[in-house]
Structure 1
Amino acid sequence: MTELRTADIAVDEEANAACRIRINGPLTVAEAGAAFARLDQIRPGKNRRLVFDLSNVSVMDTSGAWLLHRFMRDWKHAGAEVGLDNASPDQASLIQQAESHDAGCPGQPRQPSIIICQLAALGAACVRIADRFGLLLAFFGLVLARFGRQVAHPSRIRWVALSNQMEQIGLNALPIIGLMSFLIGLVLVQQGAFQLRKFGAEVFVVDLVSISTVRELGVLLTAIMVAGRSGSAFTAQIGTMRLTEEVDAMRTIGVDPIDTLVLPRMIALILLMPLLVFYASMIALVGSILFSWMSLDIPVDTFLSRMRTTVTMSDFLVGIIKAPVFGMIIAVAGCFEGMQVSGDAASVGERTTISVVESIFMVIVLDAFFAVFFSAIGM
């Protein structure tokens, strides 16, 4: 009999190329590492018979049973004949359970094609957009209900907050909106005249600029500017109040955040957007008149008289009607994203970006719907 360095496992060479492995003492998780190292030294040859003698095993747990099963399995695969001897019913049951749970590792799952991955990503994005739209629609309904209550009871309107918002949204925005509109008017005249010069019809640039400015560009560019300036400010302000728990404090003392934070901003934008659109359209036309006079030699009175015959009241009303709707959408989107802020300060920047993108997207989509609608009714 040949003994290994450990006193727990002994190897007894028998006749007919048989080998008896006697295990002494406990075979538990504490001894599994040393037992594995000793058993791993045994290399069964083909047609060699190996027998585990468990008569001296005092205690065995699932780790020991799995260890014995593993070596028996590997030696069988190597062509050896393996058996158990003097195993108690509990030991045999543990080894049998280890064998029954040896299902092996599952195969590598097949990777889906890139088309399937892209379709899955597109579907997940559509689900997220639908969820976001549902939450925004619910918030919009809540704001409309509170707005109707304040219209029915004007004493509920917070006039100080409303006047403050009107100053920030309207008065403080006049310089940047005026500069933008003036430059847009210059660019429209320059590009339109460059194209119409090929046909000798430079005078028709007046029709192009006046109709497009009054009907579409004035309200659209103003809405985009207000979304980037005021809509982002709404999200940042309300989001910061969410992080500092001021909104929760307002609810605790019985103050409704919708009445206090959302409605003054929305009412201010609804009231001021038509005025801002009118202001932006007039400044854009002033820039167009100056550039036409200085670069195209179109007199001011000629520009004004042609514009008077080209632009109708319906063109003017189309831009003015769209303005308060765009203002309401911008205010609701900005306040909604501000209410969604949570976690840390990074959420404020993320929601601010989302609010600007949402506002501009919805403004452009609504502008397309308005264009189809007004064309259908002849305006």
Structure 2
Amino acid sequence: MDFSAVERLDTLGGTLAHTIEKGFADKGVPVERVGLSEAATVIYGEVAEGLSAPLPARPVLPPPVIQALQKVGEQAVGARDDFMALLSFLGEVVMAVGSLFTGTGRFRVPAVITQLDHIAFRAVPIIMLITFVIGAIIAQQGIFFFRRFGADSYVVDLVSILTMREIGVLIVSIMVAGRTGSAFTAEIGSMKMREEIDALRVMGLNPIEVLVLPRLIALIIGLPLLTIIGDLSALMGGAIVSQVYGQLPIELFFSRMQEEVGRRHIWIGLAKAPFMALIIGLVACVEGLRVQGSAESLGRQTTASVVKAIFLVIVVDAVFAVFFAAIDQ
């Protein structure tokens, strides 16, 4: 095989030449290569070595059942790691709060007010709209059901108790997790990507105290306020639908609510709000600090923040429901 007229040799040409040579060699015909330049010799040698290497053995996959169990195990280990990371981060937050009381830290009031504006006040319109629609839907379905038994007035109990104990705080928490939690993760993650958090440490500032505490405090204050607004909006939606579909006057709706619904239902719903706010804030900040140096990582952690926060909010609500049922409240 005379390569003297070959000016350049790439891997494709080397593969073609090696295939021809191997075809003659398999038939017992000796082949001699002449005219290869020094660079072409290197390329040809690499191609020949690569084509002559044995193919890697295909991995033997376990049965589908074993693969499914393995996936479940990996998810369980990941959930344990997330839980431990959340507890560790909570410890750092508690230490930062302690520094405020000991005088070694500084409480940043302007930062808290700014975050409260973003978290609570700017979220009022969407919270009112969503909870109004939810209250209206509950009242509509309740009227259609109770009308079969001639008990239209019981829709007041349904809307009031369900809204103030469960639906109000749960819907508001889910909305805040999707709106504010994702914003926390994106903001802190972007700062992590631009190495601004490392710059804070270099300047002797604690990122937990500067970035996390104002957000957590504002969230713990803002979520109960949004819960009250959401409850009122849902009750108004239920009252309007009750008058339209059930011919139940709004005055009678709120009068029966005051007579039949105890104040404990209001406090039970509001008691959940700070805990849900803490969970949302911790998860959002933890996922933000996990962001690496790519936009893909930022998107992945933001998605994980919203999903985990909503899941934990529902779990916390279920725990409170079991607790209050156990103490007969």
Deviation for aligned residue 1:242:
0.6
Contact 1:178 1:280 in 2 (8 A): yes
- Of residues 225, 229, 244, the one that matches 2:194 is 244
CA spacing shift, 1:305–1:258, aligned 2, 3 Å: same
Q: Is the Cα contact below 8 Å between 2:105 and 2:209 reproduced in 1?
A: no
Structure 2 Cα separation of the partners of residues 165 and 113 of structure 1? 51
Could you tell me which of 157, 166, 171 is aligned with 1:221? 171
Match of 1:178 in 2: 128
Question: Pairwise mapping of residues 108-127 of structure 1 onto structure 2 (< 5 A)?
Answer: 111-127=61-77
Query: After superposition, what is the alpha-carbon deviation per residue over 1:350-370, rounded to whole angstroms, capped at 9, x for unaligned?
Result: 111100011110010011000
The aligned residue for residue 273 of structure 1 is 223
Distance 1:108 1:251, change over 3 A: closer
Residue 154 (structure 1) shift: 9.6
Matched letter for residue 316 of structure 2: L
Does the aligned pair in 1 maintain the 2:132–2:234 contact within 8 Å?
yes
Letter in 2 for 1:262: V
Question: In the alignment, is the contact (CA less than 8 A) between 1:211 and 1:310 conserved in 2?
Answer: no
1:289 aligns with 2:239: yes
Give the match's secondary structure for 2:131: helix
Q: Is residue 284–residue 309 contact of structure 2 (8 Å, CA) maintained in 1?
A: yes
- How many Å separate the matches in 2 of 1:320 and 1:171? 18
Q: 148, 168, 179: which is aligned to 2:118?
A: 168
Q: Does 1:147 align with 2:134?
A: no
Once the two structures are TM-superposed, the CA of residue 153 in structure 1 deviates from its matched residue by: 4.0
SS at match of 2:204: coil
Distance (whole Å) between structure 2 residues aligned to residue 329 and residue 174 of structure 1: 21
- Inter-CA distance 105–291: structure 2 relative to 1 (3 Å threshold): closer
Deviates more, 1:248-257 or 1:294-303: 294-303
Distance 1:110 1:316, change over 3 A: same
What amino acid maps onto 2:185 in structure 1?
Answer: T
Which structure carries more helix by proportion? 2
Alignment equivalent of 2:28, drawn from 31, 41, 44: 41
Please state how far the C-alpha of 1:343 moved relative to its aligned partner.
2.2
Higher mean C-alpha deviation, range 109-118 or range 140-149: 109-118
Q: TM-score, normalised by structure 1?
A: 0.71
Structure with more contact order per residue of length (Cα contacts < 8 Å, sep ≥ 6):
2
CA distance in 2, matches of 1:154, 1:290: 53
> CA separation in 1, counterparts of 2:271 and 2:102?
23
Using the alignment, how far apart are the partners of 2:276 and 2:225 within structure 1? Answer: 13
With over 3 angstroms needed to count, the CA separation of the structure-2 counterparts of 1:214 and 1:41, relative to structure 1, is same
The CA RMSD over aligned residues, in Å, is 2.4
TM-score by length of 2: 0.81
**Structure of greater Rg:** 1
Q: Distance in 1 between matches of 2:121 and 2:320?
A: 28
Query: Residue type of the partner of 1:269?
Result: L
Q: CA deviation at 1:155?
A: 6.9
Q: Does 1:307 align with 2:245?
A: no
Q: Distance in 1 between matches of 2:290 and 2:222?
A: 26
The alpha-carbon deviation at position 151 of structure 1 amounts to 4.3
Identity value in percent: 45
Residue of structure 1 in register with 2:296 after alignment = 346
The secondary structure found in structure 2 opposite 1:156 is coil
1:109 Cα deviation after fit = 6.7
1:358 is aligned to 2:304: no
Alpha-carbon distance between aligned partners in 2 of 1:310 and 1:349, rounded to the nearest angstrom: 48
Q: Can you give the 5+ residue segments of structure 1 that lack an aligned partner in the other structure?
A: 1-33, 43-103
Q: What's 2:285 paired with?
A: 335
Q: CA deviation at 1:105?
A: 10
Tell me, in whole angstroms, the C-alpha distance in 1 between the residues paired with 2:296 and 2:256.
53
Which structure: greater strand fraction? 1
Contact 2:164/2:266 (<8 A) preserved: yes
- Aligned length in residues: 286
Kindly report which structure 2 residues correspond to 1:128-139, keeping only aligned pairs within 5 A, or say none: 128-139=78-89
